[in-house]
A and B are shown apart, each in its own frame.
Chain A
């Protein structure tokens, strides 16, 4: 069973929604650590969060938070802050009313840490506004403040940036990274965006079809994905089917010497990471995993934005 002293430990958690089956999922997140759960749409990421939050019944497994078994507790007793994709702010309450909702429901005295939090999130001037009048980014900041106002033991973020435009997303992503780093609680950030996952967390869990395919440090997962679907999610590009023979991989007309790890023979599917490609002569002292020689027939004129893409070069 995964352990995380004082953090979140999920072991063999399963759930069911119609014919869709989630899990078994086992995860451990230490306090202060952020786990990014990456997966395509419909993979069961939101279902996993809802099951951890107690909003959806589980079939089997256990959930422990800060050493306490919360598996059978109702959601209101779990002390889990949840931020939804669409913010889910209460439209009949003001921004201040939304943020006060949790402490009031828990009969907590007003926290002295709330005002600095609002300042940090830049939403102090919005206190009297209606959620309907806020922009997407402001709504997510309020949703974040609302979730943190209950001083949660765990923060669950369900694609909080996916509905935002690019500049707002980048701003909020930076703010979120900074905020999560400062909090001493475990956090789960669900997304289908690889860049977002990697920028927010050092640890990744890949969920596909309700199954946890791979989990671990982001650097390990991006370097060694467990399968084709995982590789695609992590930004690898498929070259196509090929064959491996004594270390050399052949795909189409390409021959890639020293590309296949020892023990791999026969039919393979060839993937590469675009960011690993080096064009030109390898710098002295570096060794490419695989290389090939190509003779350029034509080159684009120098400039930041060529008017049209260059025709493909033949090796």
Chain B
């Protein structure tokens, strides 16, 4: 029963509500049904076998590790760029924003090829780096580079939106009270935009762990989980790859949910309490 004073109807009713529910529900079903079908296809025994297979386990761990490192790098470099875009009034701001969004529209295989030209053994960066003993082709470093390229816009845009939502007067008040620009950023802007920054990091993590197109070109081996699943699909067929896919799905979804919960609630409260 609704509490006194609460709106009598929680959801929109009538034909309008029915249309909204039908359209939204169809999209929801389109997202959920393949996942349900995938999980239903895989018996527990095959899931257990997939989870204990060394190649699948290593690939999953590699994906988790590379995605976490990518999220950290994207945040460290993306937050300053986000702040510049949110607060800067410089010429070319629109162009920089377009560049940031570029990976969102470039096909990921194209991104992989472009990265290979840059980071490959004869690339602008890959060549000199190779002479220093640093290789991107077929290494975890290359995987991280590919993941970073396709997912960095999420870190920048999420933090930028969060910074733009902060009243500039708060930063002005901090400056007038004696805070330097760095102190103002650390004590006012960052704590207030932290939810957006952490959300961006979680999105980067999620996008990175699912990346296939760019990664497969720059680092076919060591295989990340999506590459390993693709290999299994080619070599052993649908059933074998489905079990591995479910294992990856469970690991990805659980880590994603943990990070998202931390970013949206308890972690933020703790950090803000520390600032207070």
- Tell whether, in the assembled complex, residue A76 and residue B275 are in contact, meaning their CB atoms are under 8 Å apart: no
- Name the residue of chain A whose CB is nearest to the CB of B172: A55
Given known contacts A55-B172, A84-B169, A88-B172, A94 and B179 CB-to-CB distance under 8 angstroms: no
Check: B176 CB closer than 8 A to any chain A CB.
yes
- Tell whether, in the assembled complex, residue B276 and residue A88 are in contact, meaning their CB atoms are under 8 Å apart: no
Given known contacts A92-B192, A93-B275, A150 and B177 CB-to-CB distance under 8 angstroms: yes
- Tell whether, in the assembled complex, residue A150 and residue B276 are in contact, meaning their CB atoms are under 8 Å apart: no
CB distance from B101 to the nearest CB of A (A): 27
- Tell whether, in the assembled complex, residue A76 and residue B175 are in contact, meaning their CB atoms are under 8 Å apart: yes
Cβ contacts under 8 Å, B173 to chain A: 82, 84, 88, 90, 146
Interface of B is mostly: helix
Most buried by B among A76, A80, A147: A76
Cβ contacts under 8 Å, A102 to chain B: 177-178
Quick one: CB contact mask for B141-183 with A, threshold 8 Å, 1 for yes?
0000000000000000000000000010110111111111001
- Name the residue of chain A whose CB is nearest to the CB of B175: A75
Check: B272 CB closer than 8 A to any chain A CB.
yes
Residue from B169, B178, B192, B276 within 8 A of A94 (CB atoms): B276
Given known contacts A76-B179, A91-B192, A86 and B169 CB-to-CB distance under 8 angstroms: yes
Bound-complex Cα distance A101 to B180 (A): 12
Check: A97 CB closer than 8 A to any chain B CB.
yes
- Tell whether, in the assembled complex, residue B179 and residue A88 are in contact, meaning their CB atoms are under 8 Å apart: no
CB distance from B165 to the nearest CB of A (A): 12
Check: A106 CB closer than 8 A to any chain B CB.
yes
Residue from B172, B180, B183, B272 within 8 A of A50 (CB atoms): B172
- Tell whether, in the assembled complex, residue A88 and residue B170 are in contact, meaning their CB atoms are under 8 Å apart: yes
Cβ contacts under 8 Å, B275 to chain A: 92-93, 97
Bound-complex Cα distance A239 to B188 (A): 52
Given known contacts A88-B170, A92-B191, A94-B276, A55 and B175 CB-to-CB distance under 8 angstroms: yes
Given known contacts A91-B192, A92-B192, A81 and B179 CB-to-CB distance under 8 angstroms: no
Given known contacts A92-B272, A93-B276, A75 and B176 CB-to-CB distance under 8 angstroms: yes
CB distance from A258 to the nearest CB of B (A): 52
Bound-complex Cα distance A54 to B183 (A): 17
- Tell whether, in the assembled complex, residue A105 and residue B188 are in contact, meaning their CB atoms are under 8 Å apart: no
Cβ contacts under 8 Å, A106 to chain B: 177-178
- Tell whether, in the assembled complex, residue A105 and residue B179 are in contact, meaning their CB atoms are under 8 Å apart: yes
CB distance from B273 to the nearest CB of A (A): 9
Most buried by A among B173, B177, B187: B177
Quick one: CB contact mask for A150-163 with B, threshold 8 Å, 1 for yes?
10000000000000
- Tell whether, in the assembled complex, residue A97 and residue B172 are in contact, meaning their CB atoms are under 8 Å apart: no
- Tell whether, in the assembled complex, residue A82 and residue B176 are in contact, meaning their CB atoms are under 8 Å apart: yes
Check: A53 CB closer than 8 A to any chain B CB.
yes
Bound-complex Cα distance A75 to B176 (A): 5
- Tell whether, in the assembled complex, residue B180 and residue A76 are in contact, meaning their CB atoms are under 8 Å apart: yes
Segment 81-113 of A: residues with Cβ below 8 Å from B: 81-82, 84, 86, 88, 90-94, 97, 101-102, 105-106
Most buried by B among A54, A91, A92: A92
CB distance from B183 to the nearest CB of A (A): 6
Cβ contacts under 8 Å, A86 to chain B: 169
The 9 closest A-B pairs by CB, nearest first: A102-B177, A106-B178, A105-B179, A82-B176, A88-B169, A75-B175, A105-B178, A88-B173, A97-B276
Beyond A54-B175, A55-B172, A75-B175, 14 extra complex contacts between A and B, CB < 8 Å: A50-B172, A53-B172, A74-B175, A76-B179, A76-B180, A76-B183, A82-B172, A82-B173, A88-B167, A90-B173, A90-B188, A91-B170, A106-B177, A150-B177
Q: Which residues of B contact A (CB under 8 A)?
A: 167, 169-170, 172-180, 183, 187-188, 191-192, 272, 275-276
Q: Which residues of A contact B (CB under 8 A)?
A: 50, 53-55, 74-76, 78-82, 84, 86, 88, 90-94, 97, 101-102, 105-106, 146-147, 150
